[in-house]
Amino acid sequence: MRNGKPGFEPRPESSTSPCNSALRIPHSAFAWPALLALVVTCVPPGVEQWPVHSTDRPRPPVVDPGPERPPEPPPADAIVLFDGTDLSQWQSQDGTPARWVVRDGYTQVVPGTGAIVSKRGFGDVQLHVEWATPAPPKGEGQERGNSGVFLMGLYEIQVLDSYNNDTYADGQAAAVYGQAPPLVNASRPPGRWQTYDIVFHRPRFAPNGSVRDSARITVLHNGVLVQDNTVITGGTVHARRAHYEPHPDRLPLMLQDHGNPVRYREIWIRELPQ
């Protein structure tokens, strides 16, 4: 389900879906077992039916978010994770010092050095991140300005140069990667600073490890609403359906090294009541 609004997404399978054909009255008694099987396996209304990374999935409309703005300073109760001067709040995934370069008020991915993760763990948060993809742009599709903001190190909001750069809808900038395209494409051109303002509620697991509440995420991209309380269906994976694995209530924030020299500045986070 997307945004709790059944029917929000067009469903390309609907014209050929067995769910549709199941609605017809079978002509023979032999058809009834097949009908029952179809009813049982049909996806309920509102549940996402596009294949993961489908290139047929419509691209969101483009919205010009206006010109880039100066860095947005943190509110008083925010935890500043990066203020442009050092990566003291970050480390590599293996616990060694973060190896991304810091200069001129930003940090930049050094391809091949790996992701960086916050030293602190977080659960429910409000997060502000500013980023810029390389200019002039290099590469196409997923290879152009790819990085990512991984809430709890698991749930990716895609960072990508999606300015005149086509890719599958669930993999463009501000997508919940592999799950939910943004409502609109509010990308600025490469080299310009862009913002993500994110409200994230972590998943809740029952003592037996089953999912009690899925994670939810709201994202503003350059001030434009692009994810509206979107249900996250599981940890980010490539080219597969996501699913949940139980995990702790707090985990580090992660920024992805996808081999492209993407820049970040002004990263702050506010912990929300759990």
Name the minimum Å distance from CB 225 to Mg ion. 21
If the CB atoms of residues 90 and 131 are measured against Mg ion, the closer one turns out to be 131
Q: Are 235 and 224 in contact (CB under 8 A)?
A: no
Nearer residue to Mg ion within complex by CB, 19 or 132: 132
Cβ 212 to Mg ion shortest distance, Å: 28
Contact segment (CB under 5 A) with Mg ion among 45-53, 93-101, 119-127, 147-155 equals 147-155
Specify whether the backbone of 92 is left (phi greater than 0), alpha (psi in -120 to 50) or beta.
Answer: beta
Instruction: Considering the complex, state which of residue 55 and residue 88 has its C-beta at the smaller distance from Mg ion.
Output: 55
Find the part of the chain contacting Mg ion (CB under 5 A) among 20-28, 154-162, 236-244, 266-274. Answer: 154-162
Using the contact rule CB under 5 A, the part of the chain among 45-53, 161-169, 253-261, 266-274 near Mg ion is 253-261
| 12 upstream amide cis, omega within 30 of 0 | no
Q: How far is the CB of 159 from Mg ion (least distance, A)?
A: 6
Binding piece for Mg ion, criterion CB under 5 A, among 57-65, 228-236, 242-250, 252-260 = 252-260
- What are the angstrom distances between the C-alpha of 233 and each of 177, 247, 260? 11, 15, 27
* Burial (0-12, 13-18, 19+ Cβ within 10 Å), 226: buried
Contact call for residues 149 and 173 (beta carbons, < 8 A): no
CA angle 129, 130, 135 (to 5 degrees): 145
Query: Which residue in the set 148, 153, 235, 252 belongs to the binding site for Mg ion (CB under 5 A)?
Result: 148
Nearest to Mg ion of 1, 158 (CB atom): 158
Nearest approach in angstroms of CB 243 to Mg ion is 19
Between 185 and 256, whose beta carbon lies closer to Mg ion?
256
The verdict on 145 binding Mg ion (CB under 5 A) reads no
Please say which residue, 19 or 163, places its beta carbon nearer to Mg ion. Answer: 163
Residue at shortest CB range from Mg ion: 148
Cα–Cα distance measured from residue 194 to residue 50, given in angstroms and rounded to the nearest whole number: 28
Q: Where are the beta strands (DSSP E) in the chain?
A: 79-82, 90-92, 101-103, 106-108, 116-122, 125-132, 147-151, 155-159, 194-201, 204-205, 211-213, 216-221, 224-231, 251-255, 263-271
Give the residue with the Cβ less far from Mg ion, 19 or 154: 154
Q: Which residue, 78, 49, 89, 260, is CA-closest to 173?
A: 260
Residue 171 in the binding site for Mg ion (CB under 5 A):
no
Among the residue ranges 12-20, 39-47, 180-188, 251-259, the one whose residues contact Mg ion (CB under 5 A): 251-259
C-alpha triplet 69, 73, 76: angle, nearest 5°: 155
Return the DSSP state at 82. E
Where on the chain is the footprint of Mg ion (CB under 5 A)? 146, 148, 158, 256, 258
